[in-house]
Amino acid sequence: MGTIAALVTDLFEDSEYVTPAEAFARAGHRVVTVGLQEGRTVKGKNAETPVRVEKALDRVSVSDFDALFIPGGYSPDKLRADDRAVAFVRDFVNSGKPVFTICHAPQLLITADVLKGRTIKGWKSIRKDIENAGAAFQDREVVEDGNLVSSRSPQDLPAFVRASLARLA
């Protein structure tokens, strides 16, 4: 089975991390939490779900993983202010390996400048940002374009998990 990088920092959307991470693990995949500071515990924005960062961004490379998973919430906006996170996401998308994003996660892809000519989904408040980045925005529970799998919100988690797991099969 594969190894999935889960890129998070504080204020991630709890269910958008927990539900896919648990589903990936149940399917036999290893989820490695990647963040800004190794060993630090970050917390979700609603339930304050604690998640320990296993690997810092400066200690990982795309070749360490089979897929990238980015939950939403405020975490992606905080991460896109860090050049290491932006470079990691850019390299991952350009590698052709699967990238799973939900809700506000496309903010990282926007900053990484990897959306031109792509079709993606995200939370409705970032629609204009996605379009300004050169991508088409589709309002469906799951949008797949090349190596990108994207969804809107926690209500789309069942479809998001199914599509992500299908990419890992």
Q: Contact 1/142 with Cβ under 8 angstroms?
A: no
| Dihedral, 69, 31, 98, 14 alpha carbons, nearest 10 | -20
The three-state secondary structure class of 7 is: strand
Using the predicted structure, report yes or no on whether residue 161 has a pLDDT greater than 90: yes
pLDDT at position 1 is 84
User: Would you say the C-alpha torsion 162, 123, 143, 132 has a positive or negative sign?
Assistant: negative
Catalytic residue among 34, 36, 62, 103: 103
CATH of domain 3-168: 3.40.50.880
Q: Is 56 a catalytic residue?
A: no
pTM of the predicted protein model:
0.96
CA separation for the pair 52, 40 (Å, rounded): 6
Q: Is 88 left (phi over 0), alpha (psi -120 to 50) or beta?
A: alpha
Q: What integer pLDDT is reported at residue 47 of this predicted model?
A: 87
Task: List, for residues 80-100, the tens digit of each pLDDT value.
Answer: 999 999 999 999 999 999 999
- Give the pLDDT of residue 102: 98
- Sequence ranges of the domains in the chain: 3-168
Instruction: Decide if pLDDT at 44 tops 90.
Output: yes
**Contacts of residue 160, Cβ cutoff 8 Å, sequence gap at least 6:** 20, 100, 102, 141, 142, 149, 151
Share the mean pLDDT of the chain.
Answer: 97
On the CB side of 83, how many CA atoms lie within 13 Å of its CA? 0
